[in-house]
Amino acid sequence: MATRSDLWTTLTEPLIRQNPVTLQILGICSALAVTTSLATALTMSVSLTVVLTLSAVIISLIRRHIPDTIRLIVQIVIVASLVIVIDQVLQAFFAEISRALSIYVSLITTNCLVLGRTEAYARHHAPVPAAVDAFGNGLGYSLILLVIGGMRELFGRGQLFGWQALPLADAGGWFTPLSLMLLAPSAFFLLGGLVWAIRAMLPEQAEAPEHEPPADVRAAE
Amino acid sequence: MADTERNPWRRFLALPNESRTKTLVMAFIVAAVCALLVSSATVLLRPIQSANRAAEEQARIEALVRGIPGMADLLEQSGGTLSTVVVDLDDGRAAQDVTIDTLDAALADTANWTALEAGDDIAGLGQRPDYAQIFLLRRDDAISLVLLPMTGQGYGGRIDAILAVEGDMNTVTGIAITSHSETPGLGGRIEDRSWQSSFPGTELHDDAGDLRFSVARGEASTAYQVDGITGATRTTRGISNMVRFWLGPDGYGPLIRAIRRGEF
């Protein structure tokens, strides 16, 4: 049986050391698309964490009875149903935010993060550790989304959660917004910078180079 | 063991995962439970969602009117709200027995829809309702602005829009897209203010009274055209056909003549 400290490790490990976004590079599409403001990033994080945790629990509950031949399709069906329910709830109670997220909520279904966790962890573990692992991964994803979303909103609009943090030059302040921050490329730059920063602090995350540059190019010519 | 177990459910669970029966039954159970979950969520939340959409449409109508230069003042003068009329599209008059409250019920009845012949159906609708809700803004008893909701077929699906026309029924003052499913970044740019800004001032009919409005292939070259969107030919053609259909004889044509005669 898992002890309390094991559960704590399962929960905290995916925050930085095993972060699904920066280490495993999963769920990048949504991480780039919904981070133009903190509010959408937060909603997306909460939706993904809820879907991930619920699907991990459900799959873990029936893990002994999922036939191997159809296990992927069973997992996808469960995840997709949860996503549709969450999407409907958002449309009903958070219409504004649901419009801002447009199709990205539905795309949680195809987020590799969800299938990755259910396939790699929930399928082999009891419901409680599976839920903790899924929740931890959801938090890790949320952390990255909020950091990138916060930076993009702060430098792109001078706001945080819609509150004017930096006085705009248009309104008599000193800050000129960087419009590039609101476009997709800046999310790539920020995410790349974040991955680099984390790997610089934790060198064991760095991958071995796939190719060695040939040393004797000139000699061969 | 399995043969001592009486309960059929337990006997089923005890089957090896590889067995064909278990695979099929598990697939069926998962599918059925998920279907139940999804459909009940949809059915339970639908009333709230449609209320949201109605509120959103109302907000968009107001935003459309407020976005037209000088209209916000006009709107304040006329009491801050628009008057809403249900019109009978066949004769262009205010509907006698259908009100805003009963419009949804009336349109649920297929007898209140008219099938369109292929040649006339340029907007690709198949059929069109006999009643439509329009919005009028009056100043000194004369109509200064008419908001005409319309529906057409784009590239990705239905496009719902509201076209604002001045009281002369010839000059466009703006368009608002209320819903669409076009490709984001291409056809989806019909939502952008920058594209919609080429609508105000566009004329609909020429001096002879013929409908001339169209969406250009590139930049607008005549007073009857608005700019096209590069890479979204089918979407812009859909918008063009939608406006042409709804301003034509099967759409608001009779209503436009009635307003010109001063019947409203």
3-state secondary structure chain B: CHHHCCCHHHHHHCCCCCCHHHHHHHHHHHHHHHHHHHHHHHHHHHHHHHHHHHHHHHHHHHHHHHHCCCHHHHHHHCCCCCEEEEEECCCCEECCCCCHHHHHHHHHCHHHEEECCCCCCCCCCCEEECEEEEEEEEECCEEEEEEEEEEEECCCCEEEEEEEEECCCCEEEEEEEEECCCCCCCHHHHHCHHHHCCCCCCECECCCCCECCEECCCCCCCCCEECCCCCCHHHHHHHHHHHHHHHCCCCCHHHHHHHHCCCC
In a domain, A216, yes or no: no
Mean pLDDT, all residues of chain B: 83
Provide the 8-state DSSP code for A106: G
| Predicted local distance difference test score (pLDDT) of residue B222 | 86
Do the chains contact at A81 and B37, CB–CB below 8 Å?
yes
| Predicted local distance difference test score (pLDDT) of residue B72 | 61
- Residues of chain B found within 8 Å of residue A50, distances taken between Cβ atoms: none
The nearest CA of chain A is from the CA of B28 a distance in Å of 10
Instruction: Flag whether pLDDT at B61 surpasses 80.
Output: no
| Predicted local distance difference test score (pLDDT) of residue B33 | 93
In a domain, A152, yes or no: yes
- Highest mean pLDDT among A123-137, A160-174, B110-124, B198-212 belongs to A123-137
B76 pLDDT tier (thresholds 50, 70, 90):
low
| Predicted local distance difference test score (pLDDT) of residue A218 | 59
| Predicted local distance difference test score (pLDDT) of residue A136 | 92
d(CA B45, CA B40): 8
The residue-averaged pLDDT of B105-113 equals: 84
A219 pLDDT tier (thresholds 50, 70, 90):
low
B104 pLDDT tier (thresholds 50, 70, 90):
confident
Q: A106 in contact with B at a CB cutoff of 8 Å?
A: no
Q: How confident is the model over A72-123, as pLDDT tens digits? A: 899 999 999 999 998 888 888 888 778 777 777 888 887 888 888 888 888 8
Do the chains contact at A88 and B42, CB–CB below 8 Å?
yes
Q: Where are the beta strands (DSSP E) in chain A?
A: 159-160, 163-164
Which among B19, B38, B48 is the nearest to A85, CB-wise?
B38
Q: What is the dihedral of CA B154, B155, B157, B160, to 10 degrees?
A: -20
For residue B53, give the chain A residue with the closest CA.
A95
> Which residue has 């995962």 as its token pair?
B17
Q: How confident is the model over B2-21, as pLDDT tens digits? A: 456 678 888 888 888 888 88
Helix (H) or strand (E) holding A199: helix A184-201
In a domain, A218, yes or no: no
Mean pLDDT, all residues of chain A: 84
| Predicted local distance difference test score (pLDDT) of residue B38 | 93
Lowest mean pLDDT among A73-87, A139-153, B29-43, B55-69: B55-69
| Predicted local distance difference test score (pLDDT) of residue B2 | 46
Domain range for A60: 4-205
Using only the alpha carbons of chain A, give its radius of gyration.
20
In a domain, A211, yes or no: no
- How many domains does chain A fold into? 1
In a domain, A220, yes or no: no
Q: How confident is the model over A121-135, as pLDDT tens digits? A: 888 889 999 999 999
| Predicted local distance difference test score (pLDDT) of residue B59 | 77
Where along chain B do its domains lie? 2-44, 68-260
| Predicted local distance difference test score (pLDDT) of residue B56 | 79
In a domain, A78, yes or no: yes
- Residues of chain A found within 8 Å of residue B26, distances taken between Cβ atoms: 65-67, 70, 74
Q: How confident is the model over A164-174, as pLDDT tens digits? A: 878 877 777 78
pTM for the structure as a whole: 0.63
| Predicted local distance difference test score (pLDDT) of residue B231 | 84
Q: Which residue would you say has higher pLDDT here, B98 or B159?
A: B159
**B146 is written with which tokens?**
């008419």
Do the chains contact at A88 and B26, CB–CB below 8 Å?
no
Q: A183 in contact with B at a CB cutoff of 8 Å?
A: no
Instruction: Flag whether pLDDT at B264 surpasses 80.
Output: no
d(CA A12, CA A136): 6
- Residues of chain A found within 8 Å of residue B18, distances taken between Cβ atoms: 67-69
Beta strand A159-160 pairing with A163-164: antiparallel
| Predicted local distance difference test score (pLDDT) of residue B1 | 47
d(CA A143, CA A132): 16
Residue A116 buriedness (CB in 10 A; 0-12 / 13-18 / 19+): middle
In a domain, A176, yes or no: yes
Which among A69, A95, A102 is the nearest to B56, CB-wise?
A95
Which among A70, A81, A92 is the nearest to B38, CB-wise?
A81
In a domain, A96, yes or no: yes
Q: A72 in contact with B at a CB cutoff of 8 Å?
A: no
Q: B48 in contact with A at a CB cutoff of 8 Å?
A: yes
